[in-house]
Amino acid sequence: MIFITGGTGLVGAHLIYDLLLVDKKIKVLRRKNSNTKKVLQTFCYYTSEEKALELYDRIQWVEGDILDIECLNEHISPGDTVYHCAAIISFDPKDRERMIDDNVQGTANVVNICLEKKVKTLCHVSSSAAIGRDHASDEVTEEHAWQYHSKISAYSISKHESEREVWRGIAEGLNAVIVNPSIILGPGDWTSGSSKIFLSIYEGLKFYTNGITGYVDVRDVVKAMQKLVEAEINSERFILNAENVAFKDLFADIAIGLKVKAPHILAKKWMSEIVWRVEAFKSLITGSKPIITRETAFTANKQYQFSSNKLLTSIEFSYRSVSSSVSDFCKLFLKDMSKNMH
């Protein structure tokens, strides 16, 4: 049996789809109020509605939470393969403490039950944010040590500390592999996460920064996860990154795919500094979530180059190009917008 946490998220929903296509038996953990229809919507991106419903009906849902260790104990069994995709993702300062506490404790619970039940393997979805970024180096690799600094995001802290729980489990005898995706491109909830890039540009985003970072297609993320598990690779971490692309170039590609004007005004560092402070003040007064935070303003002006050489030399694998991923997802976005208009 395969047990999945975070099944209603971008990675989880695509993983479920892939596994069901090859007739795997799966249990998927879901919170009481989570919207499982997002999973069905994801299926419909890649197959007919009839086939999507047939696959969706084969999901064995488990109501619970990674903070509920009794639920994990009840539903994870000896010999299972566990994919841990669940995590809170937020750059809102108001979510800082809860995100760190919940992500780390939830991962600790998953690790502890996997150890107790002697599962076959655990695949933990971490993030490139959990890897150190040595500015003296041309490329960030799995060997770069994570370092704390005053401007590092709470999300980065939460993923680093969560990953440490997995390494603890490995030291105690757990078979586990860790993946560290860069920014994941994919379709789903266009109003949140990395998918919101498409909506922002569609709605007329005017600004870009001089930042550079890595991107990877969600379909390649879940393919790599499955291949690493099937290869029985343990006690290793792998950066998942197709290409390193400048924000300006990515935004231009998306704008072409959406047939809108590309962001054309360079937001210099000093402008970002002003905007995040204004947003913080507005959030304090209105209680709304800030569009830009100190953390995102800092990251948006950095230039990071991520290496995926370790994965490519460990298993047989190839990535989709970022431009082809953008083209595919722009078409799906426009299709969704067309449905919403009718």
pLDDT at position 339 = 79
In angstroms, the CA 214 to CA 74 distance is 38
Average pLDDT of the residues in 210-221: 94
Distance CA 328, CA 335 (A): 11
Q: What is the pLDDT of residue 270?
A: 46
Q: How far is CA 210 from the centre of its chain?
A: 23
In which element (H, E) is residue 189 found? none
Q: How far apart are CA 141 and CA 241, in angstroms?
A: 11
pLDDT in tens, 51-70: 999 999 999 999 999 999 99
Residue 188 zone, left/alpha/beta (φ > 0; ψ -120 to 50; rest): left
Q: What is the pLDDT of residue 282?
A: 41
Calculate mean pLDDT across residues 200-209.
87
DSSP 6: S
Instruction: List pLDDT tens digits, range 96-148.
Output: 788 889 999 999 999 999 999 999 999 999 999 899 876 556 789 999 888 88
Report whether pLDDT(180) > 70: yes
Percent of the chain beyond pLDDT 90? 66
Tokens of 254: 């998306």
pLDDT at 93 exceeding the cut of 80: no
Q: Using one digit for the tens of pLDDT, what is the confidence trace for 269-317?
A: 645 554 434 444 444 444 545 445 445 555 667 788 999 999 999 999 9
Torsion (CA) 233, 79, 101, 28 in degrees, nearest 10: 100
pLDDT score recorded for residue 271: 53
pLDDT computed for residue 172 by the predictor? 97
| Domains identified in the chain and CATH numbers | 2-264+290-341 (3.40.50.720)
16-27 tens-digit pLDDT: 999 999 999 999
Number of other residues whose CB lies within 10 A of the CB of residue 51: 13
Q: Which of 124, 130, 119, 1 is nearest to 66 (CA)?
A: 124
DSSP-derived secondary structure for 70-97 = HHHHHH--TT-EEEE--------GGGHH
d(CA 14, CA 57): 15
pLDDT (0 to 100) of residue 296:
56
Q: Write the pLDDT tens digit of every residue in 139-179.
A: 899 998 888 876 678 888 899 999 999 999 999 999 999 99
User: Within the chain, where are the H helices?
Assistant: 10-21, 37-46, 49-56, 69-75, 96-117, 154-171, 196-202, 218-230, 247-258, 269-286, 294-300, 309-314, 322-341
* DSSP for residue 140: B
Give the dihedral sign, CA 160/162/164/167.
Answer: negative
The pLDDT confidence band at residue 261, using thresholds 50, 70 and 90, is very high
* CA dist 202 → 42, 91, 251, 259 (Å): 20, 22, 10, 8
Residue range 315-324: mean pLDDT, rounded: 97
Whether 11 has a pLDDT exceeding 50, the answer reads yes
For residue 178, the SS3 value is strand
Mean pLDDT of the chain: 88
